[in-house]
Amino acid sequence: MVSFPATTETISLALEANSSEAIQILYQVLEDPSSSPEALRVKEQAITNLCERLTEEKRGEDLRTLLTKLRPFFSLIPKAKTAKIVRGIIDALAKIPGTTHLQITLCKEMVAWTRAEKRTFLRQRVEARLAALLMENKEYVEALALLTTLVKEVRRLDDKLLLVDIDLLESKLHFSLRNLPKAKAALTAARTAANAIYVPPAQQGTIDLQSGILHAEEKDYKTGYSYFFEAFESFNALGDSRAVFSLKYMLLCKIMVSQADDVAGIISSKAGLQYVGPDLDAMKAVADAHSKRSLKLFENALRDYKAQLEDDPIVHRHLSSLYDTLLEQNLCRLIEPFSRVEIAHIAELIGLPVDHVEKKLSQMILDKKFAGTLDQGAGCLIIFEDPKADAIYSATLDTIANMEKVVDSLYVRSAKIMA
């Protein structure tokens, strides 16, 4: 078997070879016992090239094994370079689809190693990455426990850039757990830390995106729109794939404030045309349904663009409330002329299944959206006249209140006379 020393010529040979041969050559370069400055530099280059090749071939397990094999090499190079290589390999593994569990295992192994080697700087960054992966995997309890410990440690060290990352991650985690006050508090902490340092545009865009999501959750869609716009500009300038999500949420805000007519204009703008695709088509379909107050078109949009609308938790949550509002408005308009009507007739008029309409009507009656009752035996809805409040009760309460004031006044006067 031919051995390949750690030289630039060997790296050039590996670059010219096919993928499997190149991987073998690069592995042999890393096994070279030489530890001269030139050999170390060549090995660093070999690691970069090997990561690229293994990522192309989707060999995630090999990337994990590579990181374990490189531990003796890490003792020969500066800690900063070690951190760069470790994060590079973890990033390379993240590019391979369906490797979330493998990434979590790898991060846990690296956390144990960095703790044993007392590499605090690297450990904190790997733990932050691990918390993000746990959150993505919906292991919220473990992620929250890890972040709580980590945020205290990083605050003591006053590492502002990492603190921004962790606070932002904590905000996303609390939002996933539907704890809005804590999500807002963590985001405020991230903004405070970000104001003290230079934050890369991608990170600033992430902060703006999270701000928009939280404002939209509080039904403050106008403020949410402005934050989504800021995030879109940042991501668009960087060519970041998250730009399309920012634009999608901008359109969502327009629909939620009943400005659905603006959606077509935003999509056809110079910036919008770059991102034309299923995500924007989905929002355009929803905007058309909202403009026409058509539940049928709305249902069609939800069915045709399920991946873009229902599988996106942020969009799905807001569209669910929009759908309920549209359905209630349509039902109230349809039942207005009747005092007694068959549920099947209403279902036929609105174009929805009978059981769906019956369930919604019962909910509206309980929510006191109108006065009525369901006769399920006859399959009818009976609508009552709006009960008028009897004025005698409010008048009686006013009289009692006035009498109380008179008695209090007389008591004060009698107390003065007796004194």
Mean pLDDT for 85-110 is 90
CA distance 254 to 267: 12
Mean pLDDT for 286-290 is 87
CA distance 300 to 30: 57
Residue 374, phi then psi, degrees to nearest 5: -105, 125
Q: Per-residue pLDDT for 235 more than 80?
A: yes
Residue 370, phi then psi, degrees to nearest 5: -155, 160
Mean pLDDT for 322-339 is 82
The strand pair at 380-383 and 340-342 is best described as antiparallel
Q: What is the DSSP string of 383-411?
A: EPPPPPPPHHHHHHHHHHHHHHHHHHHHH
List the structure tokens of 397. Answer: 């309460």
Mean pLDDT for 50-64 is 87
Query: How many residues can be counted in the chain?
Result: 419
Q: What is the DSSP string of 90-108?
A: HHHHHTSTT-HHHHHHHHH
Packed helices 120-136 and 79-94: angle between N→C axes, nearest 10 degrees: 10
* pLDDT band at 182; cut points 50, 70, 90: very high
Query: Residue 44: enclosing H or E segment and its boundaries?
Result: helix 37-56
- Pick from 57, 68, 64: which is nearest to 20 by CA? 57
* pLDDT recorded at residue 387: 63
Q: Per-residue pLDDT for 206 more than 90?
A: yes
CA distance 370 to 199: 53
Does the pTM exceed 0.85?
no
* pLDDT recorded at residue 389: 63
Q: Is 310 helix (H, G, I), strand (E, B) or coil?
A: coil
Beta bridge partners of 374: 381
CA distance 23 to 53: 7
Q: Count CA within 13 A, CB hemisphere, residue 137.
A: 19
CA distance 239 to 61: 30
Domain spans of the chain, in order of start = 1-97
* pLDDT recorded at residue 128: 92
* pLDDT recorded at residue 228: 93
List the structure tokens of 229. Answer: 């716009």
Packed helices 243-256 and 313-335: angle between N→C axes, nearest 10 degrees: 20
Dump pLDDT digits (tens) for 370-381: 888 888 788 888
CA torsion angle 325 330 333 335 (round to 10): -110
Judge contact between 286 and 323, C-beta under 8 A.
no
Q: Which residue has the higher pLDDT, 235 or 365?
A: 235
Q: Per-residue pLDDT for 190 more than 60?
A: yes
On average, the pLDDT of the chain sits at: 86
* pLDDT band at 390; cut points 50, 70, 90: low
* pLDDT recorded at residue 1: 43
CA distance 87 to 108: 13
Q: Which residue has the higher pLDDT, 26 or 107?
A: 107
Packed helices 37-56 and 79-94: angle between N→C axes, nearest 10 degrees: 10
